Each structure stands twice: as C-alpha cells, then as structure tokens.
Amino acid sequence: MKKDKVYLLEDLHDEIQRLEFQDQVWADETKTLWEKAQFSHCDHILDLGCGPGFASMELARSIKAGGKVTALDSTLEYLEFLKQKIQKENISNLHTLHSPIENAPFENEQFDGVFARMVLLFIKDLEQALEKIFQSMRPGGRLAISDFHSYRSSFIMSPHSPKLEKILDIQHNFFLRHSCDLEIARKLPELLMDLGFDIMSLDPIQKIGKPQNQYWTWVEIFLHKFIPQLIEEKEITKTLADEFWLEWNTRKKDPKTFFTTPTFLNIVAKKP
C-alpha cells in the first residue's frame, strides 16, 4: 500500500461518491465554521486538501464573484474531477492547484483564509505544513480547521459491540502505522499558538448515529470500503469481517441501538 493512500481505494469513483456524501452530512457544521472564520465576499481562500472539491465549490459560491478559491490537493484525479465540475457549472472564481501543501508554490501573505477539513491528519510533516500555511496567510487571515479529535475513544456503540471495538482497535493502529493521526486535533491548538496564531474558537462536533440516520450511513459507507481493504492488507481475516457484519446488521435492526460519532474539533485561528 502506498503511504499517501491510506483509505483511498482503487475505485476512485466510489471514493468520490463517499466524499460527496460526507460533505453533505457535515455541510451545516462546515458552514458554521466558515461563518466563525468570517470568510467574506472579497477574500482569497485556500481549500487545502480539497479532494474532489465539493466544499470548494460551495465556498466559491458563498464568497461570490468578488472573492476566489484556490483548491489544492496532492491527488491529481480529484482535481481533474473538480476541473470538469468547474467547467460544467461555469464557476469563474475557483481554481485548482496540484501540489502537496509542503511544496506548494505560494507567495507569502497570499491568502485571507485557509480551510482544511479532514486533511491535516494525513500530513506527515505537520509542523512544516503549518509553517507553510502561516507564511501564505496575510496578517489578519483566518485558518478554519475541521479534523478528528478522538476517533477511537469517542466512537462507541450502545449496546456494547465487541466486534466493532475490535475493528476500531485495528483501524487505529493501522492508521498510526501509516503516519495518519486520528487524534490530530488534540495537538493543533498548541502547535498553532507556537507558530504565532491566535485561537479564536474551538468547537467539538459529535452526533448520535441511529440505524438509517445520516450519521449511521456515513460510518457504514466508510466501513464498507475500509474493511475489504483491511482484509486485503491481511490486517483482519474474512471470518472476523463476516462476524463483524453479522453483529452490525443485528444491531441495525435493534431499536435500542445508537452510537456516538467520532469527535471532530472545529478550530478557527487568526494570524495576528
């Protein structure tokens, strides 16, 4: 497995669909984050690790023609998908940039705002990336981050689900071994302050998943993609996967079932 493709399965079409659904599930919390960051009409915003760009398009619409969005990602296929969308929907204030953030060809003090949702957890040299972000922002610029705070310890099924616990332990270790930190947001406020950012807001985001609600479906779609990958990587056996799905589907029919979703932290930081 390539280090930078932790959960990015070969079937990119499926992954784009998953990210589109994920974008819809967290759209309200994302809009609140943008409002808190005061992204406004004439701003130049960087969408860092934009993926297929569902949020970039919404951001470009919301800051209107007076502002512009640069959608940066290290995965070319996502940007090709986004470029087609930009053309089809005739969005004039949204541009793509193919680069890892660490080597992005930015000028200093270029951006009024930076948005990074579920991307910092994948970045290996986080401090270098944050420094790059800091330099690329103008004084007074706002950085809006949404990332996992406590995936393993906050994602809990009731009644207790031993097979889910087992899969989550394996997932946690698997991500760590691939340098992906599912608790990244715990470290960010301190790192940002050390760089010179002021923290404007910290908001934990957690929901209740119930069978068939959107949070349940969000998790289920991820597991449907990720568990076959764990089997392929010989992290789990097919037998364990089958036992897990049997337990999951039994829970799904039980009206007493719910889970708490993995907790995100939404952060707004300002460059003085």
Q: Are strands 111-117 and 137-150 parallel, antiparallel or unpaired?
A: parallel
Q: Is 19 in the site for ligand SAM (CB under 6 A)?
A: yes
Q: Is 267 in the site for ligand SAM (CB under 6 A)?
A: no
Helix, strand or coil, per DSSP, at residue 73: strand
For ligand SAM, give the closer residue by CB, 12 or 240: 12
CB of 73 to ligand SAM, least distance (A): 5
Backbone torsions φ then ψ of 50, nearest 5 degrees: -70, -15
- Cβ count within 10 A of residue 24: 12
- Cβ count within 10 A of residue 113: 25
Supply 272's token pair: 């003085």
C-alpha 269/C-alpha 145 separation (Å) is: 8
Q: Binding string to ligand SAM for residues 79 to 108, with x set by CB under 6 A, is what?
A: ---------------------xxx------
Q: Is 51 in the site for ligand SAM (CB under 6 A)?
A: yes
Out of 73, 112, 147, 183, which residue is the one contacting ligand SAM (CB under 6 A)? Answer: 73
Out of 18, 23, 70, 81, which residue is the one contacting ligand SAM (CB under 6 A)? Answer: 23
Which residue's CB atom is positioned nearest to ligand SAM?
A: 51
- 197, with CB counted inside 10 A (0-12, 13-18, 19+), is buried
DSSP bridge pairs for 70: 46, 95
Q: Binding string to ligand SAM for residues 107 to 146, with x set by CB under 6 A, is what?
A: ----------xxx--xx-----------------------
Q: Binding residues for ligand SAM, per CB under 6 A?
A: 19, 23, 49-51, 54-55, 72-75, 78, 100-102, 117-119, 122-123
